[in-house]
Amino acid sequence: MPSKLRIKDIEEEIKPLDVEEALKKLYCYKEENGMPLDKLIDKYLKRKAAKDKELARYENMSSFEKDAYKKGVKLIAGVDEAGRGPLAGPVVAAAVILPEGIFIEGLNDSKKLTHEKREKLFDIITKEALFYGIGQADHKRIDEINILNATKEAMEMAVRNLEIQPELLLIDAVKLNNLEMKQLNIIKGDALSISIAAASVLAKVTRDRLICDMDLKYPEYGFAKHKGYGTEEHIEAIKKFGICPIHRVSFTKNFTG
């Protein structure tokens, strides 16, 4: 069998393997058979370096959870929201309790992820989480009690919707006064805690899906494109068509004359 074909066969053989196992195989083939595998080895060394970097990043994002586990805390819920800034639609919150020691590759602050990555992580998180809950406050509630209070209300609802109440909440910079469990408020927590990052993904994907459904009902506003945020296109649509039933009056009064 020609050497070139055998290298391709080896690449197919190692494709399903973990990167460390693949490298072991490659070094073994090279040592035993003297095959020219340097390019393939270099490819897998780069993959290993990327994996090690991701593991280190994830390890850093797990520090709040690990500190709590060391203190005997078993159930930790990350809490975050999506949709504080848009001109339309609800603010949505999520609470997520992850199992201790879980590794979810690519998990990060939802704002740093692509739509496709968020959708993929949504499926993984909802499958692997011990428990998760969703809460929301609609546009009318936002107008009634203001966005900060509506955000807190949605977060409290998300926590209460967990099947089991956690011992500790890790929250992205908000204090929930109506909940009695211990809380740790972390500024930019969605980038510093895996639990909060998981909640940020569930909240963002849930809200995006809701607002995309509204695009079918009110297509002239382009909700599927901007998700209700105050883009130039969205503001021009408001000026042209006026507000629709899901717009936040308190957010859009400057554009409606």
In the three-class reduction of DSSP (H, G, I as helix; E, B as strand; rest coil), residue 163 is classed as coil
CA–CA separation, 202 and 196 (whole Å): 10
Q: What is the mean pLDDT of residues 146-151?
A: 98
pLDDT tens column, 83-96: 999 999 999 999 99
Q: Report how far apart the first and last C-alpha atoms of the chain are (Å, whole number).
A: 78
CATH topology of domain 72-241: Nucleotidyltransferase; domain 5 (3.30.420)
**Phi, psi of 132, rounded to the nearest 5 degrees:** -150, 150
- Distance CA(240)–CA(232), nearest Å, equals 12
Torsion of CA 157, 158, 161, 164, to 10 degrees: -120
- pTM of the predicted model as reported, rounded to 2 decimal places: 0.89
- The residue among 7 and 231 whose pLDDT is bigger is 231
Q: How far apart are CA 43 and CA 117, in angstroms?
A: 23
pLDDT at 4: 52
141: tokens are: 């509630």
User: In this structure, are residues 171 and 155 in contact, taking their beta carbons and an 8 Å threshold?
Assistant: yes
What residues pair up with 137 in beta bridges, in sequence order? 91
In this predicted structure, what is the pLDDT of residue 2? 44
Q: In this structure, what token pair is assigned to residue 248?
A: 């936040």
Q: What is the mean pLDDT of residues 170-185?
A: 94
Q: Which residue ranges does the chain devote to CATH 3.30.420.10?
A: 72-241
pLDDT of residue 216: 96
DSSP secondary structure letters along 54-87: HHHHHHHHTHHHHHHHHTT---EEEEEEE-SS-S
- As a whole number of angstroms, the distance between CA 100 and CA 108 comes to 17
The pLDDT tens digits for 202-249 are 999 999 999 999 999 999 999 999 999 999 999 999 999 999 999 999
The position carrying tokens 């607002």 is 211
pLDDT given for residue 32 in this prediction: 79
Report pLDDT digits (tens) over 13-54.
999 999 999 999 999 888 877 778 999 999 999 999 999 999
Residue 9 pLDDT: 87
pLDDT of residue 53: 95
What are the angstrom distances between the C-alpha of 205 and each of 65, 115, 216, 247? Answer: 24, 8, 17, 20
- How confident is the prediction for the chain on average, in pLDDT? 94
Q: Which residues lie across from 133 on neighbouring strands?
A: 95
Strand partners of residue 124: none
Instruction: Provide the 10 A C-beta neighbour count for residue 80.
Output: 32
